[in-house]
């Protein structure tokens, strides 16, 4: 496909938007969602996800999608964006602030091994705190869940028992 301008083109930014529409269509995003990118406040983000270990990559990608797409649907609803996981890419369509949140959650799930449910829960709490005018000037640290990495010790060989 080719994108060109005409002398009647009054918005030069529409060329970049058209490029994004073509990229989204190539990544199996439905036409209705891809065409939303032509609006002024809607953007597209294509996030490359890949790990060297294939088994770990598939496990984390499936964790991002969730059972029957439930985790992905919760992420879409909490960020007001449209998300498609296809192969080694995640395509997202939405407002810029929401796409930053989607990128952060996807990156955390794939590369930092953080379950998306924790990130979605944190995002919902932050949105609720932003809506409350009484909590604007205080620290939100006590309201947000704290994640601790569990360090599991590797099991060593069991001790030999002497039998008499």
| Percent of the chain with pLDDT strictly greater than 90 | 49
| Percent of the chain with pLDDT strictly greater than 70 | 95
Would the pLDDT of 135 be above 90?
A: no
Average pLDDT over the chain reads 87
Q: And the tokens for 95?
A: 């407002």
| 13-132 classified as CATH 3.40.50.800 | no
More confident residue, 48 or 3: 48
Alpha carbons 129 and 145: distance in angstroms, whole number: 13
Q: What pLDDT, on the 0 to 100 scale, is given for residue 13?
A: 85
Query: Which pLDDT tens digit goes with each residue over 81-132?
Result: 999 999 899 999 999 999 999 999 999 999 988 889 888 888 888 888 888 8
Q: What pLDDT, on the 0 to 100 scale, is given for residue 129?
A: 84
As a residue count, the chain comes to 164
Residue 97: Cβ-neighbour burial (10 angstroms; 0-12, 13-18, 19+): exposed
Helix (H) or strand (E) holding 109: helix 96-110
CA 119 to chain centre: 10
**Closest-CA residue to 143 (of 132, 153, 159):** 132
Mean pLDDT of 52-68: 92
Helix (H) or strand (E) holding 62: helix 54-65
Mean pLDDT of 122-151: 79
Alpha carbons 125 and 47: distance in angstroms, whole number: 25
Q: What pLDDT, on the 0 to 100 scale, is given for residue 162?
A: 74
Q: What pLDDT, on the 0 to 100 scale, is given for residue 152?
A: 67
Q: What pLDDT, on the 0 to 100 scale, is given for residue 23?
A: 92
Q: In the chain, what are the domain boundaries?
A: 13-132
Q: How confident is the model at residue 161 (pLDDT cuts 50, 70, 90)?
A: confident
Alpha carbons 161 and 111: distance in angstroms, whole number: 43
């Amino acid at each position: 496909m080719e994108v060109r301008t005409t002398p009647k083109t009054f918005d030069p930014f529409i060329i970049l938007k058209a490029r994004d529409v073509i990229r989204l269509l190539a990544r199996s995003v439905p036409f209705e969602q891809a065409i939303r990118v032509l609006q002024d406040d809607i953007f597209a983000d294509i996030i490359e996800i890949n790990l060297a270990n294939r088994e770990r990559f598939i496990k984390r990608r499936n964790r991002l999608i969730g059972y029957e797409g439930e985790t992905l649907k919760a992420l879409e609803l909490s960020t007001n964006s449209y998300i498609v996981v296809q192969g080694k890419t995640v395509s997202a369509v939405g407002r810029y602030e929401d796409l930053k949140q989607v990128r952060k959650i996807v990156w955390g799930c794939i590369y930092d091994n953080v379950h998306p449910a924790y990130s979605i829960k944190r995002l919902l709490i932050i949105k609720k705190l932003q809506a409350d005018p009484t909590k604007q000037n205080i620290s939100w640290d006590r309201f947000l869940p704290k994640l601790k990495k569990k360090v599991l010790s590797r099991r060593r060989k069991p001790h030999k028992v002497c039998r008499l």
